[in-house]
Amino acid sequence: EGISHLHVGNIVHCDIKPENLILTDKGRLKIADFGCAIDVERVLDIPRGTTAYSAPELIVKKSTITVAVDLWSMACVWYALWRMGQSPFDSSDSGDAQIVQGVETYCALDADKRSAWLFDDKDESTTAATALGEQLIASLLHPVPTERLGTSDTKADSAKDMYPSIRKSLVWKGVDLEK
């Protein structure tokens, strides 16, 4: 819900990653480190954020930034949770150049090959991921920002009304997102 609050205020965090998510003693997830945050629809001259979690449009110079960059990053975080810490485009020995190359390669693939990139034979933890969870992550990691799940849901007056397509996803069935 924190991302929704930012986006209702026309702010894009631009650096959503596990290290910037803090769990309070009451179990609430908080977003930290707003050093890369910017106004929506701004054109960037330089890349920003952490490359392993950055949307393609954050990596490329002269890109218009929308809330879709945070949706991509959120999917990378969820992927890392599913995969026990591994981000989709990073490995322990990857530098920024290798990550950028991985993102570019991924974005050039068709949908079936992107899904295989993300979920086929990466490691044993893949078997624990449900098809619905994989579908949610893949739909948020769409290479075209306007095609990412949730990007058509951004006209809301309150955070609770943002992203109904994500909130209503079957992945969240039975999960109380209001707590």
Distance separating alpha carbons of residues 48 and 61, to the nearest angstrom: 10
In the residue annotation, 15 being an active-site residue is answered as: yes
48 close to 60: Cβ distance less than 8 angstroms? no
* Residue 142 CA neighbour count, 13 Å, CB half: 13
Q: Active-site residue among 15, 70, 90, 153?
A: 15
CA distance 5 to 113: 34
Helix (H, G, I), strand (E, B) or coil at 155: coil
What are the catalytic residues? 15
